[in-house]
Amino acid sequence: MSHAESLPRGSVEDDRVPCGEEGCTRFALRFATMCALHLENPQDWRAAVVAHKHELEGAYLEETDLRDLDLSGARLKKADLWGARLEGASLDGAELTTADGTNLRLENASLKNANLEGMNLTRAQLGGADLSGACLDGAECLEMEAPGAKFAGAHCEETNLRRAVLEGADLSGAKIIDSDMWETKLSRANFTGAELRESQLACSTGANVIFKNANLRAAKLPRVEWDSPDLSGADFCGADLEGAILKNIEADAQTILFEKGGALKIFGGGGKLKGDDPLMSPAKAAALAPVYEAFAAAFDSAARTKEAKHLRSRAEACRKKSAD
Ligand SMILES: [Zn+2]
């Protein structure tokens, strides 16, 4: 996508002056008369960016090379960072709210406790970046690629992560609430102790995803394809697993599963298997039978034959219903 096709910049402030270079349609940096491309000495202007890092609100830094700079604590609110290069940079504690980071390169950058609320990170590259404790509330992270990135303890409320790549990412203890993770790639992602309440993970795929002690209450999980997920202690109360493909579930003995109102539930201790939902449609029953079978196999391997037997009877009831 070329710059001309990028999203309108309605959120960026309008008090900017044009670049002093004749014929240039870009804006001058806050602390200079030229845009980043027309500053005479790139090394000088990189130093200038660092020296002025607390006055970069709304700065026009599109496609600039800011690699490896120390921009910790920088004020980049509403900054235009479209396609900018920030690989290896330190942005710990930086203020990036509502900045435009479309196509931004952030590989191996450090963004610990940074504020990225409402930031646009569409198709941004965050491989190996550290966003521990960062805030991504309301951020637009469509097709963001973040393999091996750290989001431990990060806050993601109403964040759009559709089709994001999170393979091998550390999301332990992250608060991901009411967010959209539709069709995300999750192989080896670690959600230990994460909050995923009411989040949308439909059609997400991956092997060896870890959901140990994760809260997946009322999460939307239809048609997920998870191979060998660790679901030990995970709370799926009220979660929707219709049509989920779950192979080789790993779960410790504290995990139990039951159903209410057609939704599948896993419960840590004390849960009871409820009767068949008379309102369940044959199609839903057909989609849930293999889910029960998958959990039955998990209980079998944990030597919990009683629960496994119950789950197999639920699977059988679903198959019977689906034949109606
Ligand atoms: Zn210029």
Which residue has better confidence, 281 or 105?
Answer: 105
User: Which tens digit of pLDDT belongs to each residue from 206-262?
Assistant: 999 999 999 998 899 999 999 999 988 888 877 888 899 999 988 765 565 555 434
- Please give the distance, rounded to the nearest whole angstrom, from the Cα atom of residue 59 to the centre of ligand 1: 13
Of the pLDDT bands very low, low, confident and very high (cuts 50, 70, 90), residue 188 is very high
Please tell me the predicted confidence (pLDDT) of residue 35: 83
Structure-block tokens of residue 165 = 């790549």
For residue 257, what pLDDT is reported?
A: 59
Ligand 1 centroid – CA 194 distance (Å): 45
Q: Flag whether the pTM goes above 0.95.
A: no
pLDDT of 253: 56
Q: Ligand 1: distance of its center to the CA of 29 in Å?
A: 9
The number of beta carbons lying within 10 Å of the beta carbon of residue 20 is 12
69 C-alpha to center of ligand 1: Å?
A: 22
Q: What is 25-83 written as a DSSP string?
A: -SBPPTTSSS-GGGSS-HHHHHHHHHHTGGG-TT-B-TT-B-TT-B-TT-B-TT-B-TT
C-alpha 38 to ligand 1 mean position (Å)? 5
Distance 322 CA to ligand 1 centre (A): 66
Ligand 1 centre and the CA of 18: distance in Å?
Answer: 8
Phi and psi for 264 in degrees, rounded to 5? Answer: -90, 140
Look-up: residue for tokens 């989001």?
A: 151
Q: How close is the Cα of 324 to the center of ligand 1, in Å?
A: 70
35 contacts: CB under 8 Å, gap ≥ 6:
19, 21, 24, 26, 27, 28, 29, 60
The rounded percent of the chain whose pLDDT value lies above 70 is 86
Distance 49 CA to ligand 1 centre (A): 16
> Cα of 45 to ligand 1 centre, how many Å?
13
Pairing of strands 263-268, 255-260: antiparallel
Residue 30 binned pLDDT confidence (cut-offs 50, 70, 90): confident
Q: Is 240 helix (H, G, I), strand (E, B) or coil?
A: strand
**Distance, CA 108 to ligand 1 centroid (Å)?**
29
Q: Is the pLDDT assigned to residue 270 strictly greater than 50? A: no
For the range 103-107, what are the long-range contacts, defined as Cβ-Cβ under 8 Å and sequence gap of 24 or more? 103/1
Ligand 1 mean position to 110 CA, how many Å?
29
pLDDT of residue 279: 63
Distance from C-alpha of 227 to C-alpha of 302, rounded to nearest angstrom: 17
Q: Say whether pLDDT at 83 is over 80.
A: yes
Task: Give the containing element (helix H, strand E) for 297.
Answer: helix 282-301
* The pLDDT of residue 303: 79
Kindly give the distance from the C-alpha atom of residue 58 to the centroid of ligand 1, in angstroms, as a whole number: 16
Q: Positive or negative, the Cα torsion across 114, 220, 162, 169? A: positive
Q: Output the pLDDT for position 1.
A: 39
Average pLDDT, the chain: 86
pLDDT of residue 281: 79
Whether 313 has a pLDDT exceeding 70, the answer reads: yes
What separation in Å is there between the alpha carbon of 28 and the centre of ligand 1?
A: 7
Q: What is the pLDDT of residues 110-166, one digit of tens each?
A: 999 999 999 999 999 999 999 999 999 999 999 999 999 999 999 999 999 999 999
37-41 contacts at long range (C-beta below 8 A, 24 or more positions apart): 37/63, 37/64
Higher pLDDT, 69 or 263: 69
Confidence check: pLDDT of 265 > 70: no
Distance from Cα 196 to the centre of ligand 1, integer Å: 45
Cα of 261 vs centre of ligand 1, distance in Å, is 62
How many residues are there in the chain? 324
Rg (CA), the chain: 24
CA of 287 to the centre of ligand 1 (A): 58
pLDDT at 37: 77
111 CA distance to ligand 1 middle (Å): 29
* Calpha distance 133→93 (Å, rounded): 9
Tell me the β-bridge partners of 239: 264
Q: How far is the CA of 142 from the centre of ligand 1 (A)?
A: 30
CB 74 within 8 A of CB 52: no
Copy the structure tokens of residue 28. 């001058």
| pLDDT attached to residue 191 | 98
Q: How far is it, in rounded angstroms, from Cα 201 to Cα 186?
A: 10
- 39 CA → ligand 1 middle, Å: 8
What is the mean predicted confidence (pLDDT) over 289-316?
84
For CA atoms 273, 275, 276, 279, give the dihedral sign: negative
pLDDT class of 11 with cuts at 50, 70, 90? very low
CA 274 to centroid of ligand 1, rounded, Å: 68
Determine the Cα–Cα distance for residues 194 and 306; give it in Å rounded to an integer. 29
